[in-house]
Amino acid sequence: MKGDNAMTRKTTHAGLLIVDVQNDFCAGGALAVPGSEQVVSTLSRYIEEAVANDVRIYASRDWHPAVTRHFKTHGGEWPAHCVQGTDGARFRAALHLSSDAVVITKGEHPDSPGYSAFEGHTPEGQSFLADLRERGIEHLYIAGLATDYCVKHSVLDALSAGLKVTVLGDAIAGVDATPGDSARAMVEIREKGAHVVAGAGSLTNAATSLAPERFVGLRPPS
Ligand code: VGL
């Protein structure tokens, strides 16, 4: 429809959740996810667009203690990664995260892997979900690392909380410790109600690819 721009159609608030784009999950990191560099460059464009459209940006981070049952050294599954205060735990500089992005910290408990951003909290100590509710954000665009762990668990928790979820398929990458894990994760999140857009390239395209009855504008109602 002419003049009916997705950016200005107003229905409800949208937020962008960038999951765990930290050095240890990127090239050269302790748990480098194949394809992470592509994710970083694609996400940088989504971030610019979100900033331009007042879409609140959340960036989750794994923030593990040095001793946690999550790590192989203490009976867990993974090499040590994203240890609090280390370079590996820093956000990838190439991501160009905006300064007003809200950092969601998770994985601090030594007994829990903390895969989901919904286990995390804001710098003020508020839960991620409480912050979303406070802002009236009902639709989350989700991307980042890794498809088969933190992205998957974050998406499932978002859906359980009743949020609409669009997964940006061109800005995710998986570990695939067992081949097919990421593909299976995608099947599962779709079955649970996530909308997955492949190669949307922009939030506007992602938004308009939804069926009209599911469409949610990027901008808050005014
Ligand atoms: C993650 C494996 C281990 C993730 C975290 O961020 O998806 N994957 N810990």
Could you report the per-residue pLDDT of 1-47, keeping only the tens digit for each?
444 444 444 445 899 999 999 999 999 999 999 999 999 999 999 99
Measured in Å, how far apart are the chain's first and last C-alpha atoms?
A: 22
Residue range 7-207, CATH number: 3.40.50.850
Active site residue 72: no
Ligand 1, atom 3, residue with closest C-alpha: 78
Measured CA to CA, the distance from residue 90 to residue 159 in angstroms comes to 28
Question: Could you say which of 26, 82, 106, 148 is catalytic?
Answer: 106
80 Cα–ligand 1 center, Å: 11
Lowest-confidence range among 31-40, 50-59, 117-126, 171-180? 50-59
Report domain extents, the chain. Answer: 7-207
Spell out which residues line ligand 1, taking CB within 6 angstroms.
20, 25, 31, 62, 78, 145-146, 149-150, 175
Return the amino acid letter for 36: S
What was the pLDDT predicted at 211?
Answer: 57
Could you report the per-residue pLDDT of 156-192, keeping only the tens digit for each?
999 999 999 999 999 999 999 999 999 999 999 999 9
State the average pLDDT for the chain: 90
Atom of ligand 1 nearest to the CA of 147: 7
Residue linked to tokens 């949020």: 163
Active site residue 106: yes
Active site residue 150: yes
What was the pLDDT predicted at 209?
Answer: 73
Pocket test for ligand 1, best of 19, 81, 115 (most atoms within 8 A of CB): 115
What was the pLDDT predicted at 220?
Answer: 47
The 3 state secondary structure assigned to 38-73 is HHHHHHHHHHHHHHHCCCEEEEEEECECCCCCCEHH
- Mean pLDDT on 68-97: 96
Pocket test for ligand 1, best of 72, 147, 150 (most atoms within 8 A of CB): 150
What was the pLDDT predicted at 216?
Answer: 57
77 Cα–ligand 1 center, Å: 10
Atom of ligand 1 nearest to the CA of 152: 7
* Whether residue 64 has pLDDT greater than 90: yes
